Chain A
């Protein structure tokens, strides 16, 4: 058994560095449309493991398992619903094999891809059921904590936190996806920063923050707004700009250096856990580590 600090103790001591993107890297490696990225935990595990290792080597304290779309609701959309346990279990095993002594493994949980009425047809119970299953599997294979992310509906995020809470005592990080409107930051469902922070705090989250959609420069002003409503540690995981399709290839235009500068500004505004979302790669993490040393 590795003898390392509890993640929440580490957060109190210094800025914790997460990893960067997984999905966009897999697509660059040839992941085809219609194939769930989680299936590669079984069919292409060396590649997933190599990405985790590259992040640890770049200076990530934490890697997120390749289980973002590993809930039954989400996998069922690809007709892989029956492989929930296999994909989630394998994901953690792959990461554990190369996890350094001081490294952490976070069980990644993304949205189900389904919506409550009037947008969609699922119920809160459906959310709860799917997240109970996924968190139970991840807890059984002993992830260090849960990382619930990219949630655009506060009710779904709340369900996931509650499910995680029922499953185990592991710390829960939860990260919401906001868009910037003329009136400030909101989820596409219209949840304000205050509503999100309050609800998630009450549901039992240990760390609260934001990821995806916003590019790093857009996320800077969001951090003090979250801070104003909570004393919990804040996580920030922006995109490397907006995706653009150039000559048939997806590119993100923010450079690793500019990204690291933006991240540093967020840290000055009290972001305690930082990393990258879409369009980032180990080089972005390396730049954050270098910037932190200065």
Chain B
């Protein structure tokens, strides 16, 4: 088994220490780092597909995301040395106030940082003002707001309304997350998008950065 295949298996098995070991070896032995990162990304996408298929569940997905994050933590500094930073953009992410559902949001945050976003995870039960202040402070490109309850989804609308009131709506793309969030809701409140799962969320975030 070659090193690329091994790295992919380490991610899919959620084996953080093995993933770290492999990428360290790859750096020492002058492997093509970009090709390695592509392989790792492929692995994490496969983990997401397996989750959709009902083969993977939350623990497996979290472990894979953790292994990916650890591997990227080692690879990223070597890339900046090569002035080939994979930095894509800055994201402020959190679960809206009144809502303590943390899992989906944390998963998206891990995936985004694994893919090269600089992620500011504010946690759960985050007031609208905190989201906006942080986004302004770090000059974020994206604000990702999770709401798992139909009752807290109104907070997502409040965030958009507040951005409009402060005349800074155009500065940020706003993505909505959470099981009850629909495309219709995104349109109704004037957000920039939503995705069905963490993998699609990362794809969407990348797409919005290009626009």
Contact between A33 and B151 (Cβ–Cβ < 8 Å)? yes
Mark B98-136 against chain A: 1 for CB-CB distance below 8 A, else 0. 111011000000000000000000000100000000000
Contact between A119 and B59 (Cβ–Cβ < 8 Å)? yes
Chain A residues near B60 (CB, 8 Å)? 190
Instruction: Tell me, rounded to whole Å, the shortest Cβ–Cβ distance linking B189 to chain A.
Output: 10
A124 near B: Cβ within 8 Å?
Answer: no
A293 near B: Cβ within 8 Å?
Answer: no
Cα A118 to Cα B16 in complex, Å, equals 12
Beta-carbon contacts under 8 Å, B157-201 to A: 180, 182, 185
* Of the residues B55, B56, B59, B98, contact of A118 by C-beta under 8 Å: B59
Q: Which of A10-18, A84-92, A159-167, A243-251 contacts B (4 or more CB under 8 A)?
A: A243-251
A294 near B: Cβ within 8 Å?
Answer: no
Chain B residues near A187 (CB, 8 Å)? 57
Cα A115 to Cα B180 in complex, Å, equals 21
Instruction: Tell me, rounded to whole Å, the shortest Cβ–Cβ distance linking B148 to chain A.
Output: 11
Contact between A77 and B151 (Cβ–Cβ < 8 Å)? no
Known: A77-B100, A181-B53, A245-B180. A119 touches B152 (CB 8 A): no
B153 near A: Cβ within 8 Å?
Answer: yes
Known: A245-B150, A248-B154. A188 touches B57 (CB 8 A): yes
| Number of B residues, CB within 8 Å of A | 28
Chain A residues near B62 (CB, 8 Å)? 118-119
Beta-carbon contacts under 8 Å, A6-50 to B: 27, 33-34
Chain A residues near B125 (CB, 8 Å)? 34, 77
Chain B residues near A183 (CB, 8 Å)? 53-55
Cα A254 to Cα B63 in complex, Å, equals 37
Contact between B54 and A181 (Cβ–Cβ < 8 Å)? yes
| Number of A residues, CB within 8 Å of B | 24
| A33-B99, A77-B125, A190-B59 given; 8 more Cβ-contact pairs under 8 Å | A33-B152, A113-B100, A119-B62, A119-B103, A187-B57, A190-B56, A244-B150, A248-B154
Interface residues of A (CB under 8 A from B): 27, 33-34, 77, 113, 115, 118-120, 181-184, 186-190, 242-245, 248, 250
Instruction: Tell me, rounded to whole Å, the shortest Cβ–Cβ distance linking B80 to chain A.
Output: 28
A-B residue pairs in contact (CB < 8 Å), sample of 21 = A27-B151, A33-B97, A33-B98, A33-B99, A115-B103, A118-B63, A119-B62, A182-B54, A183-B53, A184-B54, A186-B57, A189-B57, A189-B59, A190-B56, A190-B58, A190-B60, A242-B180, A244-B150, A244-B182, A245-B180, A250-B151
Chain A residues near B155 (CB, 8 Å)? 33
| Closest A residue to B157 using CB positions | A248
| Closest B residue to A183 using CB positions | B54
Chain A residues near B152 (CB, 8 Å)? 33
Chain B residues near A77 (CB, 8 Å)? 100, 125
* Of the residues A119, A181, A244, A248, contact of B58 by C-beta under 8 Å: A119
Cα A64 to Cα B58 in complex, Å, equals 30
Chain A residues near B58 (CB, 8 Å)? 119, 188-190
